[in-house]
A and B are shown apart, each in its own frame.
Chain A
Amino acid sequence: EVQLVESGGGLVQPGGSLRLSCAASGFTFSAYYMRWVRHAPGKGLEWVATIKEDGSETSYVDSVKGRFTISRDNARNSLFLQLNSLRVEDTALYYCSRHGPSRSFDLWGQGTLVTVSS
């Protein structure tokens, strides 16, 4: 089955860190750009980061630059997002997603919840 499964979310204090993981299966993971998207409570969807197939290029939304790091391990079919210096406004459901045709998002995981609160 083609799927993405996220893990690693939780409750963390402001200034803390978390590492999110996404396990891919059912497709050739190493052939795709991969992305993270988040959905904050009461807000719309927000693209967070993208990584190239081989991990050689990454890009981020301005609000997370210098704090979040996207990475991947193609041998383990896994995508990661390291979240540092977390802020209350980073509270959201974080989705792992696959780059699709016309730069769409054609496959999504179920999400992992990150809550930043004191």
Chain B
Amino acid sequence: EIVLTQSPGTLSLSPGERATLSCRASQSVSNNNLAWYQQKPGQAPRLLIYGVSSRATGIPDRFSGSGSGTDFTLTISRLEPEDFAVYYCQQSGSGSPPITFGQGTKLDIK
């Protein structure tokens, strides 16, 4: 099983600041199949980034993804009030289970 560890658990920032969220995998992620999701209270997760760095349809360009192998980063260049939420990374590979999620990073308003 590929375990994804997200850090920090909680990140407290102010609107306008830059957010950097980390996702570390216990093994190399296959074919760059690494995605990021945003989840707000009472809502389903929303796909932000797939394939490490490709933005999903309709996602603002202040969201960007980077990384390779076992270390991945989601960056929000300039936080808007609506960006405060929980963020999850997710990988797909050939292991068992083939799909795993990180435990999440909560982005709080400071």
**Bound complex: CA A104 to CA B47 (Å):** 8
Which of B37, B44, B98, B100 has its CB near the most chain A CB atoms (within 10 A)? Answer: B44
Residue pair A103, B100 in contact (C-beta under 8 Å): no
Q: Which of A35, A45, A61 makes the CB contact (< 8 A) with B45?
A: A45
Q: A102-B35, A102-B51 are in contact. Are A47 and B45 (CB under 8 A)?
A: no
Q: How many residues of B contact A (CB 8 A)?
A: 28
CB distance from A67 to the nearest CB of B (A): 15
List chain B residues, Cβ under 8 A from A66: none
**Bound complex: CA A110 to CA B50 (Å):** 21
Q: Which residues of chain A in 58-111 are interfacial with respect to chain B, using CB atoms and an 8 Å cutoff?
A: 59, 61-62, 95, 100-111
**Which residue of chain B has the shortest Cβ distance to A103 in the bound complex?**
B92
Residue pair B31, A47 in contact (C-beta under 8 Å): no
Residues of chain B whose beta carbon lies under 8 Å from any beta carbon of chain A = 31-35, 37, 43-47, 50-52, 54, 56, 88, 90, 92, 96-104
| Contact sample, A vs B, 22 pairs, CB 8 Å cutoff | A44-B104, A45-B101, A46-B101, A47-B100, A59-B98, A95-B44, A100-B47, A101-B54, A102-B32, A102-B33, A102-B92, A103-B35, A104-B33, A104-B47, A104-B51, A104-B56, A104-B92, A105-B45, A105-B90, A106-B56, A108-B44, A111-B44
